[in-house]
């Protein structure tokens, strides 16, 4: 009989990267984490021993708890969260089962330090169009769901990065930027080790739209049009980012599940 308090690797993998995904809490002990310091996408690390103190942080959110093998630590933490009224499940088989199934994992060696609230902080040029929406989408869906993004005048990005301990991206002469013909979105996928067919497909569309090489992907022209339309609809860059998240969610889902689907108008006299 299937467990009512656990989520399988296949079930969780179908939710990763989507707006309705559960919060993934990694409670592996330091020894296990140090042996493989990668994380499931958008994971938050927590100490299982202090679950009573941090459990309220997840009130009202579904949670998937991950330990090394899916046994005592994740099951105990999930049980405690349920005691607090939080819908929580442990990952069946834990980190080892996810890794053995070739589940998507995030490399942490390039992950920026977090602020006092546990968030990564990023800064880039104001008035985003494509890459500066694509990168925040990738970070929030796969790296840090609570990442902070600062949009400032282009000339002020380095100084703001220095004064506010933020990570600059999508400007010249920084680590997180274009490399050759590849855009910053490509750089982030590579550096975070996000090996995914769906993300590769989306990256091709983003790259074509961002670099004005619309012949590289059939979807690029429409994607660029939607991106430019959003940039005209919102004066506030953060409001544009929130609206743009849905655009990227939709294209990611298409890249993952719907590339073979077509839509035809029904012929006259035939049922639709």
pLDDT tens string 62-101: 999 999 999 999 999 999 999 999 999 999 999 999 999 9
Q: How far apart are CA 75 and CA 89, in angstroms?
A: 8
Give the end-to-end CA distance of the chain in Å, rounded to a whole number.
40
Structural domain includes residue 108: no
Over residues 149-162, the mean pLDDT reads 98
The pLDDT value recorded for residue 3 is 74
Q: How many structural domains comprise the chain?
A: 2
Structural domain includes residue 111: no
Task: Convert the pLDDT of each residue in 8-33 to its tens digit.
Answer: 999 999 999 999 999 999 999 999 99
Structural domain includes residue 268: no
Helix axes 220-233, 197-210, angle to 10 degrees: 70
Strand partners, 125: 152
Residues 52 and 171 in one domain: no
Share of the chain above pLDDT 90, in %: 93
Structural domain includes residue 110: no
Task: Convert the pLDDT of each residue in 137-152 to its tens digit.
Answer: 999 999 999 999 999 9
Structural domain includes residue 269: no
245 is in which domain, residue-wise?
121-258
Q: How far apart are CA 7 and CA 94, in angstroms?
A: 10
Residues 126 and 96 in one domain: no
Over residues 150-172, the mean pLDDT reads 98
The pLDDT value recorded for residue 66 is 98
Q: Are 61 and 20 in contact (CB under 8 A)?
A: no
Helix axes 220-233, 237-253, angle to 10 degrees: 160
Q: Are 84 and 172 in contact (CB under 8 A)?
A: no
Residues 131 and 163 in one domain: yes
The pLDDT value recorded for residue 268 is 61
Over residues 164-191, the mean pLDDT reads 97
Beta strands in 53-205 (DSSP E): 63-66, 88-91, 121-125, 148-152, 167-168
Q: Which two tokens stand for residue 198?
A: 């769906």
| Greater pLDDT, 270 or 97 | 97
Q: Which CATH number covers residue 26? A: 3.40.250.10
Q: How far apart are CA 54 and CA 25, in angstroms?
A: 11
Average model confidence (pLDDT) across the chain: 95
């Amino acid at each position: 009989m299937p467990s009512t308090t656990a989520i399988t690797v296949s079930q969780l993998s179908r939710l990763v990267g989507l707006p309705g995904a559960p919060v993934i809490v990694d409670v592996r002990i330091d020894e296990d984490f140090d042996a493989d310091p990668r994380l499931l996408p958008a994971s938050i690390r927590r100490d299982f021993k202090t679950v009573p103190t941090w459990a309220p942080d997840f009130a009202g959110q579904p949670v998937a708890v991950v330990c090394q093998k899916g046994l005592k630590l994740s099951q105990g933490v999930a049980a405690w969260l349920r005691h607090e009224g939080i819908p929580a499940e442990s990952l069946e088989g834990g980190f080892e089962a996810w890794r053995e199934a070739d589940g998507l994992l995030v490399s942490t060696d390039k992950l920026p330090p977090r602020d006092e609230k546990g968030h990564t902080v990023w800064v880039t040029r104001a008035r985003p169009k494509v890459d500066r929406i694509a990168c925040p989408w990738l970070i929030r869906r796969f790296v840090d769901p609570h990442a902070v993004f600062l949009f400032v005048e282009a000339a002020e990005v380095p100084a703001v990065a220095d004064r506010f301990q933020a990570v600059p991206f999508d400007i010249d002469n920084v680590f997180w930027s274009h490399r050759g013909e590849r855009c910053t979105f490509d750089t982030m996928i590579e550096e975070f080790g996000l090996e995914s067919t769906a993300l590769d497909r989306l990256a091709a569309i983003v790259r074509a739209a961002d670099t004005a090489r619309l012949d590289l992907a059939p979807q690029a022209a429409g994607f660029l049009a939607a991106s430019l339309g959003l940039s005209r609809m919102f004066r506030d860059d953060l409001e544009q980012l929130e609206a743009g998240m849905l655009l990227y969610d939709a294209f990611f889902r298409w890249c993952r599940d719907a590339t073979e689907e077509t839509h035809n108008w029904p012929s006259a006299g035939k049922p639709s």
